[in-house]
Structure 1
Amino acid sequence: MRSCGQSCRRGGARPTESGTSRARVSAPTPQRRPRAQLHPGAWWLWSLALGTAATRTTNPLLLALLLTTSAYVVIACRPNTPWSRSYSAFLHLALAVLLIRLLFVIALGSPVPGTHVILTLPEVPLPAWAQGIRLGGKVTAEGVLFALYDGLRLATLLVCVGAANALASPSRLLKSLPGALYEAGVAVVVALTFAPHLIADVQRLRAARRLRGRPDKGLRGLLQVALPVLEGALERSIALAAAMDARGYGRTADVPAPVRRTTAALTLGGLLGVCAGTYGLLTAAGGTYGLPVLLAGLAAALAGLHLGGRRSPRTRYRADRWTPRARLVAASGIAVAALLTLAASSDPTALHPTVVPLTAPTLPLWPAAAILVGLLPAFLAPAPHPENPPKDPS
């Protein structure tokens, strides 16, 4: 018979002094440390900069390139969370805005004169006090194209805002705000998260109705889903109010009166300076004083916010940091906005194609290459992963 020690040796185990065998423990494989998440402010700066670039042009080719850029980055970088699904809702909203703009031009006419008549609608006669307004009449290709370009610009701006909602966590963004803007930030975050939570509730209830064999489409399905959605929104509002009260929301610290007056004067003066400086930059006569007044107003407003933060002392647990990746993401969006603004001033005809006379838009090369800089976050941002997904109450 084989001894226990021989069998253990042949089996690959090593006998111990007590006669028992000990299995070999394999060394743990080193795992890569996941990349840190980007600062939410970087995503908002990138998205708002793309929206600013969209306001500088009415070229449909450049606007379509901006839409493609934002959609690609959202698909590549958004996490698997309920609020990240709001991007499709903003796409539907942008499409609705574009269709409404076209319907208004068809029904009410366009201020752009045109000679290429597409169709003629029955015109409703209006009284003399409604001069300048018409109902029906001739619909020209020039007016439709002008409305299409203008509506597409607004739709692109809405989609860029939707990209910020899908990429940046609202709770992490609130944690990054200065103390003076905390109360206003809570209101904005609650307003921004209302639509994503509402969409998630509707999808969950429609899926539950389909599993039970009940209709989930049409007017009947919408009416039967609306009541549970409103009930869930009310319960969530009560829970949010209780959580805010438990965390001492709205309580302020004792600050001397001179500090309060200085804070109010700096904030109000800074905002007035920003308004005056922006007006100066937008007008030809104020080009000399616009930039200095704008910079001075920004400095005063930031100083007022810094002093105002003393009234709401709070701590941050694991505050987000502006890493080099986050700076590059924000810089890529700012670069797109700056280059499109420069192109709009140097070559306005390329970024604003004319409709009278009717001409086909062309794609300017270097503004298109500037928009492609906005794709940089798709290669810099960390891989998407779920960020504290909520539990299904059902």
Structure 2
Amino acid sequence: HQAPVAGRGNAVHPGAWWLWAVGLAVAASRTTNPLLLGALVGVAGHVVAARRTDAPWARSYTAFLKLGLAVVAIRVVFSVLLGSPLPGTHTLFTLPELPLPDWARGIRVGGRVTAEQVVFALYDGAKLATLLICVGAANALASPARLLRALPGALYEAGVAVVVAMTFAPNLVADIARLRTARRLRGRSAGGLRAVARIGLPVLESALERSVAVAASMDARGYGRTARVPAAVRRTTAVCTLGGLIGVCAGTYGLLAAEGSAYGLPLLAAGLAAAVAGLRLGGRRSPRTRYRPDRFGARSWLVAGSGAAVAALMIAANGWAPGALHPSLVPLTAPELPLWPALAILVGLVPAVVAPVPPRTTPEESP
């Protein structure tokens, strides 16, 4: 069965892509096994390759991959230079140790470098890199313009500010490419500090003018108009929204931290409920009509549910078989691929099957 071509009626909701990516990120936070982390990166990369459009914002996945590799390298370098509290017996090499004053006791610069501390840094950096790559997958799959259109009315002003900010960056990149091409055609150098200094001010000025023009056009269409609501409703909205967001942050931390799995999910659910109630009440002060709103249909539920299933199965695996998800460092052992956690990660491939195929050419979306 071949998935249909994506259109206005069957496109996956941008929020579903973010929920799917968050599920993969939660799963990545539950393990330091590099084989499982590599499987998560492979699942995210396959879905991105299969369902990514050709829009400019869809090209961010490669940048996040490079950022992840840089994070791993930086983590290893800092571990080698600054040492690690992890005890080790397999010495790789010894660096000259920098003597420090008494007030810096406990801090070491240089010294003995063991295989255990390098492997620990690799595992730790790989986990953080996988989290970043999951965020990059959501950025590459979820249209920013559609995501902003789906914002509730209470976040309308914030959405306008984000639209202006998001308009500035693409215009900046386009103007840089245009001016560098013009300099090459004139036989001038397009690189170096001198070229950057000469094109920097025109680029900033042009991009800022376009962003201000977008803001002025949005203001002319009535963006930011608010309605009068009673003071009690405003106070209730503030309490529910602020309390809900605090609960969401605390619950998310609980899900990402290994010791917070007991309270993370209930606190996240309570925070989401309070935040949704606050946003619904806050929407009264920003009356507006949505033109062809995005629907959270069956395909969107399957995409979001697959990410939630991966997260739930990895949380369960962390409680039942923690040794398989966290390879031993002391003594140092080679990681093994546990069967059923690896099969649980493959559930994240569901969007590559159920999500509609993006069209070959993506029309420019206006926020």
What is the 5 A alignment of 1:208-219? 215-216=189-190
Whole-Å Cα distance in 1 between the matches of residues 85 and 62 of structure 2? 33
Structure 2 residue matching 1:243: 3-state secondary structure: helix
Does the 8 A contact of 2:12 with 2:300 survive in 1?
yes
The counterpart of 1:254, out of the listed 221, 225, 228, is: 228
The counterpart of 1:330, out of the listed 292, 304, 329, is: 304
Structure 2 residue matching 1:42: 3-state secondary structure: helix
Whole-Å Cα distance in 2 between the matches of residues 389 and 277 of structure 1? 37
CA RMSD of aligned residues (A): 3.0
User: What is the deviation of 1:69?
Assistant: 1.0
Structure 2 residue matching 1:120: 3-state secondary structure: strand
Matched, 1:101 2:75: yes
Structure 1 residue matching 2:110: 3-state secondary structure: strand
Change (3 A) 1:296 1:377: closer
The counterpart of 2:348, out of the listed 374, 381, 393, is: 374
Change (3 A) 1:197 1:121: farther
The counterpart of 1:133, out of the listed 101, 107, 131, is: 107
Change (3 A) 1:33 1:143: closer
Does the 8 A contact of 1:85 with 1:196 survive in 2?
no
User: What is the deviation of 1:199?
Assistant: 5.1
Change (3 A) 1:340 1:299: same
User: What is the deviation of 1:61?
Assistant: 0.6
Whole-Å Cα distance in 1 between the matches of residues 295 and 39 of structure 2? 31
* TM-score, normalised by the number of residues in structure 2: 0.86
> Aligned residue pairs: how many?
359
Whole-Å Cα distance in 1 between the matches of residues 264 and 42 of structure 2? 34
The counterpart of 1:123, out of the listed 83, 87, 97, is: 97
Q: Which structure has greater helix proportion? A: 2
Q: Over residues 310-344 of structure 1, what are the superposed CA-to-partner deviations in whole Å (9 max), with x where a residue is unaligned? A: 01111110001112111111111111111111111
Does the 8 A contact of 1:60 with 1:149 survive in 2?
yes
1:74 aligns with 48
1:235 aligns with 209
Change (3 A) 1:290 1:40: closer
* Structure 2 unaligned residues grouped into runs of 5+: none
Change (3 A) 1:48 1:366: same
Whole-Å Cα distance in 2 between the matches of residues 163 and 39 of structure 1? 15
Whole-Å Cα distance in 1 between the matches of residues 313 and 124 of structure 2? 21
2:32 counterpart letter in structure 1: T
Structure 1 residue matching 2:96: 3-state secondary structure: strand
1:18 aligns with none
Change (3 A) 1:265 1:33: closer
Whole-Å Cα distance in 2 between the matches of residues 240 and 317 of structure 1? 19
> Greater relative contact order (Cα 8 A, min sep 6): structure 1 or 2?
2
Matched, 1:387 2:346: no
Does the 8 A contact of 1:55 with 1:153 survive in 2?
yes
Whole-Å Cα distance in 2 between the matches of residues 297 and 206 of structure 1? 49
Whole-Å Cα distance in 2 between the matches of residues 113 and 191 of structure 1? 47
2:25 aligns with 51
Does the 8 A contact of 1:252 with 1:312 survive in 2?
yes
The sequence identity of aligned pairs, in percent, is 67
User: What is the deviation of 1:212?
Assistant: 5.8
* TM-score, normalised by the number of residues in structure 1: 0.81
Structure 2 residue matching 1:139: 3-state secondary structure: strand
Whole-Å Cα distance in 2 between the matches of residues 231 and 193 of structure 1? 14
Does the 8 A contact of 2:24 with 2:134 survive in 1?
yes
Does the 8 A contact of 1:170 with 1:193 survive in 2?
no
Change (3 A) 1:127 1:278: same
Q: Over residues 155-207 of structure 1, what are the superposed CA-to-partner deviations in whole Å (9 max), with x where a residue is unaligned? A: 11111111111111111111111111222334455556666665555555556
User: What is the deviation of 1:152?
Assistant: 0.8
What is the 5 A alignment of 1:301-316? 301-316=275-290
Change (3 A) 1:201 1:138: farther
1:306 counterpart letter in structure 2: R
User: What is the deviation of 1:233?
Assistant: 3.0
Q: Over residues 271-322 of structure 1, what are the superposed CA-to-partner deviations in whole Å (9 max), with x where a residue is unaligned? A: 45556767888797995x7766654443332211111110111111000111
Does the 8 A contact of 1:109 with 1:139 survive in 2?
yes
What is the 5 A alignment of 1:124-273? 124-188=98-162, 202=176, 215-216=189-190, 226-227=200-201, 229-273=203-247
* Structure 1 unaligned residues grouped into runs of 5+: 1-31
Whole-Å Cα distance in 2 between the matches of residues 134 and 79 of structure 1? 48
The counterpart of 1:114, out of the listed 69, 85, 88, is: 88
2:333 counterpart letter in structure 1: T
1:350 counterpart letter in structure 2: A
2:37 aligns with 63
User: What is the deviation of 1:216?
Assistant: 4.8
Structure 2 residue matching 1:389: 3-state secondary structure: coil
Change (3 A) 1:72 1:184: same
The counterpart of 1:357, out of the listed 331, 336, 339, is: 331
1:92 counterpart letter in structure 2: K
1:173 counterpart letter in structure 2: L
1:8 aligns with none
Does the 8 A contact of 2:156 with 2:224 survive in 1?
no
Structure 1 residue matching 2:97: 3-state secondary structure: strand
1:88 aligns with 62
Whole-Å Cα distance in 2 between the matches of residues 74 and 49 of structure 1? 15
Q: Over residues 205-260 of structure 1, what are the superposed CA-to-partner deviations in whole Å (9 max), with x where a residue is unaligned? A: 55665666655556666666655543443233222322332233333111111211
2:297 counterpart letter in structure 1: T
